[in-house]
Structure 1
Amino acid sequence: MAIEVHPSIFTHPGPWLRRNYVKPNNLTVRATASVLGVTGVQMNNLLSGRAALSADMAMRIEKAFGLAASTPHLLALGYAGLLRLTRLSL
């Protein structure tokens, strides 16, 4: 018997980044995008949980916020977010 996990327990890295880095630093989506060198649309999609965390974006976050791209928590969030997006698209 397989254990079913409710999708709500998977935390996408975007909302987590918004709560822990964007809002505490009083940044807007546009300002965060500018700091990371990406478009506002890309940043909004990530922070809204509509886009997966790529390795490139993880490296940009590392440079901007000092959060190591290899941080297990960030990697796990990125993987969980990617799984969730994949499940929703099936």
Structure 2
Amino acid sequence: MEMYNPAHPGEILGEEILKPLGISITKAAELLKVSRKTLSKVVNGRGAITAEMALRLEKVFNNPSASTWLAIQNDYDLWHLKQEDLNVTPYRSDAA
């Protein structure tokens, strides 16, 4: 089953973690030991969750795991890439 336009992981971070805990981007950035600008870009969908950020999120908020954050980012990136024409030619063996 093809996923339809998955949420950016930053949206999930903002809506499912920060908002329910009542934590501002500024406070979360302090806890994560990253700049407010870096975290704001992620939460606002203009930055990706890197492996380092995923591990920081896991260590600060416990759940979801770093692997889950990376899977969410990967699903988001892959879906968006699939919407583009990569202009590649499939390989066909001459032996066939």
Query: TM-score range with shorter-chain normalisation?
Result: 0.7 to 0.9
1:70 Cα deviation from its structure 2 partner: 1.7
Please say if residues 11 and 80 of structure 1, whose CA atoms lie closer than 8 Å, have aligned partners that are also in contact.
no
1:76 Cα deviation from its structure 2 partner: 2.5
Return 5+ residue gaps in structure 2 as ranges. 87-96
Query: Moved runs in structure 1, 4+ residues, more than 4 A?
Result: none
TM-score between both structures, scaled by the size of structure 2? 0.72
Aligned length: 81
1:37 paired residue among 16, 23, 33: 33
2:66 paired residue among 62, 66, 69: 69
CA–CA distance in structure 2, aligned partners of residues 47 and 5 of structure 1: 21
CA–CA distance in structure 2, aligned partners of residues 75 and 37 of structure 1: 19
1:45 Cα deviation from its structure 2 partner: 0.2
- Which structure has more relative contact order (CA 8 Å, sep 6+)? It is 1
Aligned-residue Cα RMSD (Å) equals: 2.3
| Higher-helix-fraction structure | 1
TM-score between both structures, scaled by the size of structure 1? 0.77
Identity among equivalent pairs (%):
35
SS at match of 1:76: helix
Return 5+ residue gaps in structure 1 as ranges. none
CA–CA distance in structure 2, aligned partners of residues 79 and 38 of structure 1: 22
1:46 Cα deviation from its structure 2 partner: 0.3
Partner of 2:7: 11
1:5 Cα deviation from its structure 2 partner: 7.3
1:55 Cα deviation from its structure 2 partner: 0.1
